[in-house]
Structure 1
Amino acid sequence: MESHWQIGAGSTVLIFDDRWIPHPTSFKVLTPNLCEEDFWLVSFVLSRIGGMRLCRKILWKEDADIVLSISTSYRFRDDTFCCHYTHDGEYTVKSGYKVGMNIECSIICLISMGNGFDWKRIWRINLPTKIKVFIWKTCHDWLPTMVSLARRKIHADGLCLLCANSYETTTHVLWGCKKLKKIQSRYGVLRDCSSAKNLDFNDLFSMCVVRLENDELSLLCIVFWRIWFFEKPGASWQRYAGLGKCC
């Protein structure tokens, strides 16, 4: 579905539940709902009085920047549901066919790439089964990171417990956290990729699979596994000395 709300007065659109952010393909805010209220009206966030401050408070910076760039209707125009991939927002059979073809091509590409890489290669690598299963779960976003817990309404603000400066996504906790720089510096193939910390973990790992030989890839899987199980908050950071030896 490639349609979303076009904001008019913003009085009928729910911030966390509805599709209204001009951010394909989900068109939803990335921020989990950490508010006690069941929902927030877009019109409340976009209001001139206190709207900017409230927006920055409840939404992540990426979402807040987009929201604050949206202009509301001073004539209280109704919110309308529109098609994203047409100039006038009207759905037609032609536009539907075009979107459908793009989706089909994307599916074919994903199938041919195997979600970015060949999982058979991972299963064949000389690694303990528990580490292979961990990597599989990680690529499917199954780790209980702070962001994941926040999305499930479990008490958490989503912040990384190690650096307290960024939201703890899978990529952040296994790669992007500044506390991991010592380990990160040992992997030149990723050190040279300045945008790695902004990638989805599945995309990050896909890049590793493509660029690394089996022995390097095995080592990286072990590092990811050890970071999650031994270097999380509550474990001694002195263990990095031992981790450095295996790198």
Structure 2
Amino acid sequence: MDLVREIFGEDEAETIQKIPISSTGAEDRLIWQGTKDGVFTMKSAYYLQNELNALMFHQSCLIIKKKTIWTRCWSFKIPNALKTFMWRACLESLPTRLNLAKKRICESPKCLVCLSEDETMIHILWNCPFAIDVWRQGPSGLHKSSIRPRKFSDLVEALISTCDQETMELFAIITRSIWGRRNQFIFENSFAHPFALAQIVKNSLQEFKAARQKPQASSRGMVEGIGIWNPPPPSVIKIYWDA
């Protein structure tokens, strides 16, 4: 847990600690993914290398484009922790239900919020009806977007090519807030109202930028400025919901 806290921070470390261990109780073991039985063979390694070479050849034309896009993304005036979250979301490395089901940590990959589709990154952060409710409170360029990508990384690339930096910074914060809202629903049985969540996002971005302009800003001010991806306590969420 000390290593988990060091890498992810206190909030995410607590969430990770709540993830149940595999129900099968099977011990970890080394396997070779190039064969169905998990046993390494030279023949399978040869075919796998050919597939990788072909994949690199077809993707080489996209390298310059992707590098330009991510250079712009990392220049956003948002906390590094939020940039890291965006990067992990684009790599599909966050513990969605689909990822947990693949690792046999949970039985069903279904989204626990809408119960209608598998919980992939693009679903929970963009396509889920409860995520759409939040996006409708954001910039018109986002909630009116007709983009229907297959992966979250495709969505980020498409938006970066059409939206200005301020809109993309807001997009990043809203995305992290939707993920935090999802975690609170699963682990704390709390669910923030879309309007209240959108308002907190807007205020937090303004406070963070104001804090950056004050070299002598107190540590408390900095914490308040980044409060949006450290979701408000359940009591606050319930007040917003009742309102």
Q: TM-score range by the shorter chain?
A: 0.5 to 0.7
User: Using the alignment, how far apart are the partners of 2:181 and 2:145 within structure 1?
Assistant: 26
Secondary structure of the equivalent of 1:106? Answer: helix
Aligned-pair identity in percent equals: 24
Gaps of 5+ in 1: 1-35, 37-95
User: Using the alignment, how far apart are the partners of 2:56 and 2:123 within structure 1?
Assistant: 31
**2:194 paired residue number:** 240
Is 2:188 the partner of 1:228?
no
Is 2:113 the partner of 1:162?
yes
* Count of paired positions: 151
**1:111 paired residue number:** 63
Amino acid at match of 2:70: W
The change in CA–CA distance for 1:235 and 1:216 in structure 2 (over 3 A counts) is farther
Amino acid at match of 1:210: S
1:195 maps to which of 130, 135, 148: 148
1:139 maps to which of 79, 90, 95: 90
* Bigger share in helix: 2
1:169 to partner: Cα distance? 0.3
**1:53 paired residue number:** none
Gaps of 5+ in 2: 1-23, 25-49, 203-243
The change in CA–CA distance for 1:144 and 1:191 in structure 2 (over 3 A counts) is same
Quick check: 1:147–1:168 contact (8 Å CA) kept in 2? Answer: yes
The change in CA–CA distance for 1:102 and 1:149 in structure 2 (over 3 A counts) is closer
Quick check: 2:109–2:119 contact (8 Å CA) kept in 1? Answer: yes
User: Using the alignment, how far apart are the partners of 1:132 and 1:202 within structure 2?
Assistant: 13
Quick check: 1:231–1:239 contact (8 Å CA) kept in 2? Answer: no
User: Using the alignment, how far apart are the partners of 1:161 and 1:101 within structure 2?
Assistant: 39
Amino acid at match of 1:192: S
Quick check: 1:159–1:167 contact (8 Å CA) kept in 2? Answer: yes
* Deviation digits for residues 43-79 of structure 1 (CA, Å, limit 9, x no counterpart): xxxxxxxxxxxxxxxxxxxxxxxxxxxxxxxxxxxxx
Alignment of 1:65-214 (within 5 A): 103=55, 105-114=57-66, 118-185=69-136, 186=138, 187-189=140-142, 191-193=144-146, 195-196=148-149, 199-214=150-165
User: Using the alignment, how far apart are the partners of 2:80 and 2:52 within structure 1?
Assistant: 39
Quick check: 1:189–1:211 contact (8 Å CA) kept in 2? Answer: no
Quick check: 1:145–1:169 contact (8 Å CA) kept in 2? Answer: yes
Q: Which has the larger radius of gyration?
A: 1
